[in-house]
Amino acid sequence: MKRIVLIPAALCLTAAAALAASSPMTDAAVATFQSVAKDPGKMQLYCEMSAVMDKAGDNPDNATEAKIDGYVKQLGPEFQSAWDVGDDVDENSPDGKRLDAALDDLTNKCPS
């Protein structure tokens, strides 16, 4: 009888752990954002991009979007892939919150 109760309980715990785990894509994106903070050249580019994004607000025009895309490309293919992960993740999900936090940490390293 105890086995019957333990098996469903174990399955529930395993499922909960799997749901709480972040995706490998999110892990890679966060690691990429963290690596940018360690590279002064990339950090400068990111800070310039961040300033352009802040100035544009929620409705950037085509020229501003092109400028941001240029910064993303200059930051390299790994950064571009990490940046693109955010397009496919719900910002309210655990993965979305991790991505936002990693980008916030990066932005907070920029001079004011």
Q: Which residue has the tokens 């333990």?
A: 6
pLDDT band at 47 (very low <50, low <70, confident <90, very high): very high
Q: pLDDT tens digit string along 69-87?
A: 999 999 999 999 999 998 8
pTM, whole model, 2 decimals? 0.77
For the ranges 15-19, 32-36, 90-94, 103-107, which has the lowest average pLDDT?
A: 15-19
Q: pLDDT tens digit string along 2-42?
A: 444 444 444 443 333 344 457 999 999 999 999 999 999 99
Q: Which contacts qualify for 49-58: CB closer than 8 Å, 24 or more apart?
A: 49/75, 50/107, 50/110, 51/110
pLDDT of residue 31: 97
pLDDT of residue 82: 96
Q: Which residue has the tokens 């019957």?
A: 4
Check pLDDT > 80 for residue 112: no
DSSP classification of residue 88: G
The number of residues making up the chain comes to 112
pLDDT of residue 59: 85
**Domain ranges within the chain, ordered by starting residue:** 23-108
- Euclidean distance between CA atoms 52 and 46, whole angstroms: 10
Q: What is the full DSSP assignment across 40-59?
A: HHHHHHHHHHHHHHHHHTTS
- Euclidean distance between CA atoms 108 and 57, whole angstroms: 17
- State the number of CA atoms in the 13 A half-sphere of 103 facing the CB: 19
